[in-house]
Structure 1
Amino acid sequence: MRFTLLLSGCLWLVLLSIDGHADEDVKANITRGLQSLLPDMKITAITPSPVQNIYQVMMGPDIVYMTGDGRYLLKGDLLDLQDRRNLSEEGRSVARLDILKNIPERDLIEFAPEKTEHAIYVFTDVDCSYCQRLHRDVPELNKNGVAVRYLAFPRAGIDSKAYRDMVAVWCAGDRHQALTDAKNGKPVAYRQCDNPVKQQYQIGQSLGIRGTPAIFLENGTELPGYMSPEKLVSLIRG
């Protein structure tokens, strides 16, 4: 479980609300029980699950289940075998979408078609070969009405060359061209400015990203890495 949620203060203001569907005693019991184990953890929602006296507890995009008295904690996915649904993944998708939708548009590098029908969020690294391959697919995705919204995720961390390269991209006068150049192995003049690269890297960590490209659909669903534009468009359109 990823208990370290490194979201910025503005995002926490959006997320920090405990759902009113669980009664106050239950919320108090669960909060007390969980914080006795993880005192710094921030609970973002407590809602009843379909199982009697079992509650879904969300901490950003992380989910656990607890009994109403706050004594027992269950870790794992809750599956509805009758309807063939992963209820936990549905909850995580909603939480991921809340996070992604509250990232300011000015902090994204978006490659959009003339008429956007769908959009994907892509955490990218300029040194990642599959990220470079996906970037070459952007014109085909745009042709199919799909906007690509890039966020920075230098896999080697914030002390790496990739991090400095991505700062240079986000600080460039023409960020679209700078990102394309960087992904094609061309040097981008280093600049410093007030930039979101570190914050986006931390958001990616909170979402559990381990590799790139990390692709998220408009409903918060996470896709398993690179795929061909044909397959990606098919998944987007459902």
Structure 2
Amino acid sequence: MKKVIKIAALSLLGLTLSVAHADENAIRQALTKSMPSVKVGSVKPSEISGLYEVTVGGNIFYVSDDGKYLVQGHLVDVAARVDLTEEKLSGVRKQAIEKLGLDKMIVFKPKESKYTVSIFTDIDCGYCRKLHSEIDQYMAQGITIQYLFFPRAGKGSDSYHKAVSVWCADDRKAALTAAKKGDTPPAKTCVNPIDEHMQLAEDFEVKGTPMIVTEKGNIFPGYLPAKQLAEALADEKGQK
């Protein structure tokens, strides 16, 4: 009798997996057909029956199991008061930044690093300049800063060309510091990751700069003084 029950359970599990796989394929095919330019990442069941969680770049959407309906927004566990989507988005952001790689960022690292943040910055942004003018304070708090460029005026703007010139400079860190002080960097071009930075910013729905992304993929929008940022990062790590 136990053997029969076990076989039935395994058969049911296999059927469930087959249905889930079929739904995933249906969703992928439907999205590819309706939005051919969109690169679909993972597709998996969400916490709501009949609704699938789909990652696209740094975003998460919810799609019906036939791929016909797409829902844009955050899924919240009302009882637990937890934003389930934001929790998963942090993981998506973390993976996206890791995939980009350190060789495509300008990194300022203290002698003893306790924390690491990735910051989307615009050379001509006032608060971005204020943050960078205090770079020694962030270093003193043990915060490694990984810069990515997000020229808010868009591709082809003065800010965009400055970002490219800084990246192509012989000493990127010195060129960035000078540009943040208001100096116009000597015009240079080379193979650069600025467009990748901007695409990532779009995926993360960056609205302004600076935007700080923590090691865990959480977001702090806007400028934070070094001490306040260090406290927030310590809280994130559960050190306080």
Mark yes or no: TM-score above 0.5. yes
Give the corresponding residue for 2:162: 165
Correspondence for 1:49 among 46, 57, 64: 46
CA RMSD of aligned residues (A): 2.0
Residues 22 and 48 in structure 1, CA contact (< 8 A), matched pair in contact too? no
Q: Distance in 2 between matches of 1:222 and 1:94?
A: 11
Q: Distance in 1 between matches of 2:19 and 2:193?
A: 36
What percent of counterpart residues are identical?
33
Give the corresponding residue for 1:75: 72
Q: Distance in 2 between matches of 1:22 and 1:44?
A: 19
Q: Distance in 1 between matches of 2:199 and 2:68?
A: 31
Aligned-pair CA distance for 1:74: 2.5
Q: Deviations over 1:174-194 (max 9, x none)?
A: 111111111011232222222
Aligned residue runs from structure 1 range 118-157, under 5 A: 118-157=115-154
Q: Deviations over 1:129-181 (max 9, x none)?
A: 00001112221111111101011111112211111111121111111111111
Residues 93 and 221 in structure 1, CA contact (< 8 A), matched pair in contact too? yes
Which residue identity does 2:214 align to in structure 1?
Answer: L
Gaps spanning 5+ residues in structure 1: where?
A: 1-19
Residues 22 and 47 in structure 1, CA contact (< 8 A), matched pair in contact too? no
What is the TM-score when the length of structure 1 is the normalising length?
0.84
Q: Distance in 2 between matches of 1:141 and 1:43?
A: 37
Q: Distance in 2 between matches of 1:174 and 1:200?
A: 19
Q: Deviations over 1:94-118 (max 9, x none)?
A: 1111111112322211111112121
Residues 109 and 149 in structure 1, CA contact (< 8 A), matched pair in contact too? yes
Q: Structure 1 residues 202 and 71, CA, compared in 2 at 3 Å: closer, same or farther? A: closer
Give the corresponding residue for 1:197: 194
Correspondence for 1:115 among 104, 112, 116: 112
Gaps spanning 5+ residues in structure 2: where?
A: 1-16, 236-240
Residues 167 and 195 in structure 1, CA contact (< 8 A), matched pair in contact too? yes
Task: Single out whichever of 161-170 and 28-37 deviates more from structure 2.
Answer: 28-37
Aligned-pair CA distance for 1:36: 4.3
Q: Deviations over 1:70-126 (max 9, x none)?
A: 344322211112322111111211111111111232221111111212111011111
Q: Which has the higher helix share?
A: 2
> Larger RCO: Structure 1 or Structure 2 (Cα < 8 Å, ≥ 6 residues apart)?
1
Residues 22 and 46 in structure 1, CA contact (< 8 A), matched pair in contact too? no
Q: Distance in 2 between matches of 1:198 and 1:28?
A: 31
Give the corresponding residue for 2:13: none
